Amino acid sequence: MKLKIGIIGFGTVGRSVAKILCRDDSGPLLLTHICNRNMERKKIEGLPAHIHWTSDVNEVLASDVDVVLELIGGLEPAGDLVRRALRGGKSVVTANKLLISEHGPELADLARKVGRRLEFGASVAGGIPAIIGIQEGLAGDRLYRIAGILNGTSNFILTKMEATGATLEATLKEAQERGYAEADPSADIDGIDARAKLVILAQAGLRLRVRSEQIPCRSISLVEAVDFMYARELKCAIRQISVAQKDTVNGVRLRAAVQPALVPADSLIAHAQGNQNIVMATGEFAGRMIFAGYGAGGDPTAVAVISDLYAIARSAGAPPEALPGAAEVPDSVTGDFTVPHYLRFVVRDRPGIVAALATILAKYDISIDALLQKPGFPHSALSFVMTLEACDSAELNRALAEIAPLDFHVEPPLCLPVFVD
Ligand SMILES: NC(=O)c1ccc[n+]([C@@H]2O[C@H](COP(=O)([O-])OP(=O)(O)OC[C@H]3O[C@@H](n4cnc5c(N)ncnc54)[C@H](OP(=O)(O)O)[C@@H]3O)[C@@H](O)[C@H]2O)c1
């Protein structure tokens, strides 16, 4: 018996899924339905004649397909579609990070209730088997930290800026021309896209239910070409880093944020080039595990979708056993980390600037590690960097609130955490 599949949403990922599924019909998967609004304009040649093409999702939901692939994206009507498919006795595979980050637990509960499967391996890191690796491969560990690069567009931009010295605007334009960035790139650049994936990873790996808006995000647009110059001096790279860390001293606390950060240039995380992703999961028993590769694109994402289909075929559609340790709501969620920091200032040069900064930092018990100043900046806009020994970012923000009104700034100081592991 083959598992009958219906695709809803015949775009980039849907087309790749169809292409790969139809390349080999000897396996347990059979594509029978393809649905997209205004289907006539989406039809392609070369797929088997038995496939039923339709513009009406109800035809797929009322058909005999075993699994619905939701590949339209967005919250609605995708959410309604997934609920109707599950209630109608079908399993669902989705690549929709927005839907799963907002409604994943509710939809998983519904799937369990109706005895069907809901799989979302493609919703985080595209073709990289991070969700299945964490949820199943590492189910025997107790994970307490997940960190990584979860947005390929931001990584393309930052690694390109690092390699060429170009501005963010110029690099973004190139990313858009090469199809790596949307016309409106804000979800990628401002960390919104990575944050949705971090929410899903926190649920799957740390067993914590958290809402997107609880996790602070900072934009990579704060980073300028000069920061790569100073980062290089410090033997560091700058990347959009997503971190979720579970602390269980005095209750369950989640420390989580998506932001540009310095990482050692020779670290594995810094080696994710271009639009690649990396997910690092650290557990109490097995230590750190790393998943890396292409986190987006039609074909890599289709691989994750089809792997989910194979998992359903192997289980004959039955829901998986409950994972150990039901997901819980943390007692608190904070974006604060106790780590070294990088501060970059652009000032109108005059005597006493460093002394004024050091006095305020000392008031908050924050120690300066090093001062760096490259030659060649004009006195009217002199750029220099201070690195700080490990300190709590909340405490540092209080010090920066006192530093910000000082009259020598030409632009607001930039503060980036340094993640060393
Ligand atoms: N592309 C990637 O690299 C990637 C990676 C990981 C995850 N994902 C996720 O995969 C999903 C699909 O992404 P994609 O890149 O394939 O998007 P896409 O190229 O925009 O494809 C979406 C398709 O769904 C169709 N559609 C939209 N609303 C519909 C509706 N109400 N009824 C029927 N069809 C509808 C669209 O039709 P029109 O042509 O009329 O707009 C389009 O063909 C999203 O959740 C995305 O976040 C994508």
Question: Which residue, by CA, sits nearest to atom 31 of ligand 1?
Answer: 77
Q: What is the pLDDT of residue 28?
A: 94
Question: Which residue, by CA, sits nearest to atom 39 of ligand 1?
Answer: 11
Q: What does DSSP say about strands 287-294 and 276-283: parallel, antiparallel, or unpaired?
A: antiparallel
Q: Is 302 in the pocket of ligand 1 (CB under 6 A)?
A: no
Query: Class assignment of domain 3-119?
Result: alpha beta
Spans of all domains in the chain? 3-119, 130-295+328-334, 338-417
Active site residue 113: no
* Cβ(9)–Cβ(38) below 8 Å: no
CATH of domain 338-417: 3.30.70.260
Question: Which residue, by CA, sits nearest to atom 38 of ligand 1?
Answer: 37
* Cβ(273)–Cβ(154) below 8 Å: no
Residue linked to tokens 């028993």: 285
Catalytic residue among 160, 197, 246, 363: 197
- Prediction pTM value: 0.95
Q: Is 74 in the pocket of ligand 1 (CB under 6 A)?
A: no
pLDDT (tens, 9 = 90+) of the chain, 421 residues, equals: 899 999 999 999 999 999 999 998 789 999 999 999 999 899 998 999 999 999 999 999 999 999 999 999 999 999 999 999 999 999 999 999 999 999 999 999 999 999 999 999 999 998 899 999 999 899 999 999 999 999 999 999 999 999 999 999 999 999 888 887 888 899 999 999 999 999 999 999 999 999 999 999 999 999 999 999 999 999 999 999 999 999 999 899 999 999 999 999 999 999 998 889 999 999 999 999 999 998 888 999 999 999 999 999 998 756 665 555 568 999 999 999 999 999 999 999 999 999 999 999 999 999 999 999 999 999 999 999 999 999 999 999 999 999 999 999 999 999 999 999 7
Q: Is 9 in the pocket of ligand 1 (CB under 6 A)?
A: yes
Q: Is 96 in the pocket of ligand 1 (CB under 6 A)?
A: yes
What is the distance in A from the centroid of ligand 1 to the CA of 70? 9
* CA 55 to ligand 1: nearest atom: 33
pLDDT digits (tens, 9 = 90+) for 100-154: 999 999 999 999 999 999 999 999 998 899 999 999 899 999 999 999 999 999 9
**CATH number 3.30.428.10 given to 130-295+328-334:** no
Q: How far apart are the first and last CA of the chain?
A: 48
**Closest to 257 in 3D by CA, of 222, 218, 226:** 218
Q: Is 131 in the pocket of ligand 1 (CB under 6 A)?
A: no
